Amino acid sequence: METITYIAQQFALPGLIQSIEPYGEGHINDTYLVKLRSGSQAFMLQRINDKVFKDVPVLMSNIDKVIAHINAYFNAHHLPENAQFLKLVHTKTKHAYYQGKLGYFRMYEFIPDSVTYTAAPRLKHLEAAGRAIGEFQHMLADFDATQLSETIPLFHDTPNRVEALIKAIATAQPQRFEKARGIITLALERQPYASKVTEAIARGEVPIRVTHNDTKFNNILFKANSSDAICLVDLDTVMPGSALYDFGDAVRSACTTSAEDETDLDSVKFDLRKFKALTRGYLSVMKQELKPKEIELLAFSPILLTYEVAVRFLTDYLLEDIYFKIDYPEHNLVRAENQFQLMKSMESKLPFMQKTIDDLLK
Q: Which does residue 309 bind out of ligand GN1, ligand ADP, Mg ion, none, counting CB within 5 to 8 angstroms by kind?
A: ligand GN1
Q: What does the radius of gyration of the chain's CA atoms come to, in whole angstroms?
A: 20
Question: x/- binding map, residues 47-86, to ligand GN1, per CB under 6 A?
Answer: -----x----------------------------------
Tell me the pairing of strands 220-223 and 229-232. Answer: antiparallel
Distance of closest approach, residue 250 Cβ to ligand GN1, in angstroms: 11
| C-beta separation of 338 from 258 below 8 A | yes
Residue 35 touching ligand GN1 (CB under 6 A): no
Residue numbers of the site for ligand ADP (CB under 6 A)?
A: 23-24, 26, 28-29, 31, 44, 86, 108, 110-111, 114, 116, 218-219, 221, 233-234
Residue 309 touching ligand GN1 (CB under 6 A): yes
Residue numbers of the site for Mg ion (CB under 5 A)?
A: 26, 219, 234
| C-beta separation of 239 from 213 below 8 A | yes
Distance of closest approach, residue 26 Cβ to ligand GN1, in angstroms: 4
Residue 27 touching ligand GN1 (CB under 6 A): yes
Question: What backbone phi and psi angles, to 5 degrees, belong to 214?
Answer: -150, 65
Q: What is the largest CA-CA distance in the chain?
A: 62
CB atoms within 10 A of CB 255: 26
Q: Which does residue 260 bind out of ligand GN1, Mg ion, ligand ADP, none, counting CB within 5 to 8 angstroms by kind?
A: ligand GN1
Cα 128 to Cα 244: distance, rounded to the nearest angstrom: 18
Of 234 and 337, CB closest to ligand GN1: 234
Bridge partners of residue 43, in order along the sequence: 34, 109
Residue 244 touching ligand GN1 (CB under 6 A): no
Distance of closest approach, residue 316 Cβ to ligand GN1, in angstroms: 10
Question: What backbone phi and psi angles, to 5 degrees, belong to 24?
Answer: 85, 180
| C-beta separation of 119 from 259 below 8 A | yes
Interacting residue ranges for ligand GN1, rule: CB under 6 A: 26-28, 52, 214, 216, 219, 234, 236-237, 260, 309
